[in-house]
Amino acid sequence: MVNEKIVGAKPTWSPYDLLPRGSKNALKRFWDWAGFSKGFGTACRYEMDMFLLRLRCAISIRYQMRVRQLRRQKGLKVNLGCGWVPIPGWINLDCYPPPKKESNHCEVLVLDMRRKLPFADASVAAIYSEHFMEHLPFDTVCNNLLPECFRILSPGGSIRMGVPDGELFIQRYQSGKVGAHSEKTADSKPGMMDINDIAHSGGHFYLYDYEVLEKIFKEAGFKEFQKCKSRQTRAHCFDRMDQDDKWRVENTVFIEGQK
């Protein structure tokens, strides 16, 4: 998951973020001199971070002990890609967790979520994710993430995932709108730039609509699908879970399914 968490303003545990500004500038000048693209550099940084994270998980006694505890538990609730908004009472997973002072005393398990998830088969009652899946390559979602979610979810368990709604952005492009605005202004970007931004900027790999979500969830084994808007759900465990900032409310499509 190459995302804005490693290239944005918020600091992470990445060794790059710990470098002094002068060292960062020197590395950027070398990168430009070598002719490498910014995107390639971001990808290299991320993969190196994930290698270090997998190594840390493999040798951390504390991490291994917590995983053994989790694998003995049932009825867990898991939040994938929590970012800086962990949920109390849930097991929050992310590769770049918030600082402890920002975590609201929530548990955040730090790992590379593109690999096997640290839970036993059929041990999770609910899985939630908001604006995480688009930060993974499409084949990783189809071949790794969703099959792992199906494996750990208990029979009758619920899953809810939200992503930027590609259908909305294309509709706005077709109608001559930009973003959430109904009229263009002097500094508005062309509609095609808006689509490319949501599809690829900020570490996004793929632009989904509900039809694609339903297809890949069905292929992973889930059933009883429902298309939802923000704050709309049939499962009580997801009540009031979605973030309420205006952009996400207007531009997110959710899918809910069951095992």
Residue 2 pLDDT: 38
Strand partners, 93: 80, 109
Cβ-contact 168, 251 below 8 angstroms: yes
Q: How far is CA 231 from CA 162, 163, 225, 244, 253, in A?
A: 11, 14, 16, 8, 11
Helix (H) or strand (E) holding 2: none
Residue 7 pLDDT: 38
Average pLDDT in the 211-228 region?
Answer: 95
* Percent of the chain's residues with pLDDT above 70: 91
Higher confidence at residue 162 or residue 104? 162
Helix (H, G, I), strand (E, B) or coil at 76: strand
Cβ-contact 125, 96 below 8 angstroms: no
Average pLDDT in the 119-143 region?
Answer: 97
Tokens read off for 125 = 């009652």
Helix (H, G, I), strand (E, B) or coil at 125: strand
- Please give the model's pTM, rounded to 2 decimal places: 0.89
Task: Quote the longest CA-to-CA distance of the chain.
Answer: 59
**Would you give the DSSP letter of residue 97?**
P
Residue 1 pLDDT: 40
Lowest mean pLDDT among 2-16, 123-137, 164-178: 2-16
Helix (H, G, I), strand (E, B) or coil at 201: helix
* Percent of the chain's residues with pLDDT above 90: 76
